Amino acid sequence: MDKSTQYKIFTDPVHGFVSVPKGLVLKLLDHPYVQRLRRIRQLGLANTVFPGAEHSRFSHALGALGLMQRVLNHLRERDTTITYNEFESTLAAILLHDIGHGPFSHTLEKSIIGNAHHEKLTLLLMEELNRQFEGQLDTAIRIFTNRYPKVFLHQLISSQLDIDRLDYLRRDSMFTGVLEGSIGIDRIIRTMRVHQGNIVIDKKGIYAIENYIVARRLMYMQVYLHKTVLGGDKLLIAILNHARRLLQRNEPLPFYSPALEFFISQRRNNTEMVSRKMLDMFTRLDDNDIILTLKYWQHHDDPVLSDLCRRFLDRDFFRTTFLDKKPTDKQLKKWKQDTSGVLEKMGMPSDSDTVSSYFFYDFSQSEAYKYKNDGIWILNDDVAVEFSRASDNQHILALTKPVIKHYVVHLKNVPLN
């Protein structure tokens, strides 16, 4: 057989070309669950700040698939045995690792399906796919859930140095234009080894790892936790919360999206199981459901709903202010009162529910590198040493401390004093 028919080739602006093996992997790629990721932006609202960041979760999944093939082929060249089934299953697992993401990726994670984390949904959808594909995903699921003996395969999917991160850092850096997030993927892949069953990095790659960790920190600070993005997130969550309140008051609320209506209209508690019906509706939901609904809600009679939606669509967000430390209850109370006063002057409702749609306090937390449970290991003369101890500079240790930033999101004319 001509091998030309064994791959489907995709062009990718980040990695050049991605070959997708025909058979199971291509069938999964063509499945509606994966195609749906074309309609979910990888970075949620970041495109409101970085206009180029309009890339989808689908392009990330495809890019990670391409990188995973390169890594697995590289490890085979370095004498690590990887069977055909393991190869295909690891590709399947990385391709599917994000299918549980809902609209706007992380932003609405809690707003749409109570406490169902996207990784839990991913697993449920992988199990559903496994039924449809009659067990062909057994190994992929074991790898994904770290129940497969060769743990390095799981580490490539989820760890402090996994293929997911390598692709998204490079991709997000390129599409946002934030060069400070660029990493040397080629060098990292070329120095990967399997040592005593675990992924390690040859000491020649130690500076590429340092660059990777600092780049990740810089992407968090400049992009993922950008204050305008944080402000947009709060606005979007506030809209859905306010819609729920209107429904509870039995006010008429056209949804334009059956799936969104399903999730917003029913009251759910945190211990509730995810039902099959819910899973089915979930797979019908993507960014379009949210955007389209908001687009028409901006003409709704409710002044709060229409104002919030208009702000969202026209990118007229609230202001986000970082604080030096956690605000006191007294401060928060004062600021909420000020918000209420401003709303009143604007001719808007000024009750506490409405205030909660116009004033928010939260904090972000991030660390560039964690080494407690699953650090990165450097191979030095056949001995693996945890990265922060292998480095010639103590600054890596400082990078393991979480950076916590307290912030409030508020109307521009509410002074924070």
* Residues in 338-377 that interact with a copy of itself by CB under 8 A: 368
Residues numbered 30 to 49 that lie near a copy of itself (CB under 8 A) are 30-32, 35, 38-39, 47, 49
Stretch that binds a copy of itself, among 92-100, 105-113, 265-273, 287-295 (CB under 8 A): 287-295
Q: What angle do CA 184, 122, 363 make, to 5 degrees?
A: 70
Stretch that binds a copy of itself, among 27-35, 88-96, 233-241, 244-252 (CB under 8 A): 27-35
Maximum distance among all Cα pairs of the chain, rounded to whole angstroms: 75
Q: Which of 98, 167, 289, 302 binds a copy of itself (CB under 8 A)?
A: 289
> In terms of CB distance, is 102 or 154 closer to a copy of itself?
102
> In terms of CB distance, is 288 or 331 closer to a copy of itself?
288
The yes or no reply on residue 10 touching a copy of itself (CB under 8 A) is yes
The yes or no reply on residue 133 touching a copy of itself (CB under 8 A) is no
Between CA 346 and CA 338 the distance in angstroms is 12
Q: Give the Cβ contact number of residue 337 at 10 Å.
A: 14
Residues numbered 373 to 402 that lie near a copy of itself (CB under 8 A) are 392-399, 401
Stretch that binds a copy of itself, among 108-116, 117-125, 234-242, 284-292 (CB under 8 A): 284-292
Stretch that binds a copy of itself, among 56-64, 116-124, 156-164, 236-244 (CB under 8 A): 56-64
Q: List C-alpha distances in Å: 209 to 40, 74, 201.
A: 30, 18, 8
Q: How far is the CB of 352 from a copy of itself (least distance, A)?
A: 31
Instruction: Annotate 75-110 with DSSP letters as a single string.
Output: HHHTT----HHHHHHHHHHHHHTTTT--TTTTTTHH
Q: Give the Cβ contact number of residue 11 at 10 Å.
A: 8
Q: Give the Cβ contact number of residue 414 at 10 Å.
A: 23
Q: Could you give the angle at which helices 163-176 and 57-77 cross, rounded to 10 degrees?
A: 130
Residues numbered 159 to 188 that lie near a copy of itself (CB under 8 A) are 174-180, 182-184, 186-187
302 contacts: CB under 8 Å, gap ≥ 6? 242, 246, 251
376 contacts: CB under 8 Å, gap ≥ 6? 160, 161, 201, 209, 369, 386, 387
> In terms of CB distance, is 150 or 217 closer to a copy of itself?
217
Q: Which of 25, 28, 56, 262 binds a copy of itself (CB under 8 A)?
A: 56
The yes or no reply on residue 79 touching a copy of itself (CB under 8 A) is yes
Percentages of the chain per state (helix, strand, coil), in multiples of 5: 55, 10, 35
> In terms of CB distance, is 12 or 128 closer to a copy of itself?
12
Q: How far is the CB of 80 from a copy of itself (least distance, A)?
A: 10
Between CA 48 and CA 51 the distance in angstroms is 6
The yes or no reply on residue 9 touching a copy of itself (CB under 8 A) is yes
String marking each residue 210-239 x if it binds a copy of itself according to CB under 8 A: xx--xx-xx--xx-----------------
The yes or no reply on residue 197 touching a copy of itself (CB under 8 A) is no
